[in-house]
Structure 1
């Protein structure tokens, strides 16, 4: 499954929409995504599974890249 992760790069930073970044991660579950991202020390705001039409839309974007973790 592919998950879209919304995060702040600085762990202690208060989430602000203008500084929120996203990455795509392949994992079995949301908890698996969190485990894979522990070394990066991101302040994770939200994780959502993407599939179907939503995944097709994301894949059509130029900046779509699944992180190899």
Structure 2
């Protein structure tokens, strides 16, 4: 499954919409995504499953990349 993660680059940052970044992560569950990113300095705001038409739409973006973190 592919999840879209909305985050701030620094854990000390207060979430601000204009500074929010996104990444796509391949994992089995939201919990697994959070566990894989635990060692990153990210302040994770939201994790959502991406599938179907939403995934197809995201894949059309030339910057679309899926992280496969072990």
Gaps of 5+ in 1: none
The structure with the largest helix share of the pair is 1
Q: Which residue of 2 aligns with 1:18?
A: 18
Q: Which residue of 2 aligns with 1:49?
A: 49
Detail structure 1 runs of 4+ shifted over 2 Å in the superposition. Answer: none
Query: Helix, strand or coil: the match of 1:61?
Result: coil
* CA distance in structure 2 between the aligned counterparts of 1:9 and 1:27, rounded to whole angstroms: 21
TM-score (norm 2): 0.95
Q: Which residue of 1 aligns with 2:3?
A: 3
Aligned length: 69
TM-score (norm 1): 0.97
Query: Helix, strand or coil: the match of 2:38?
Result: helix
Gaps of 5+ in 2: none
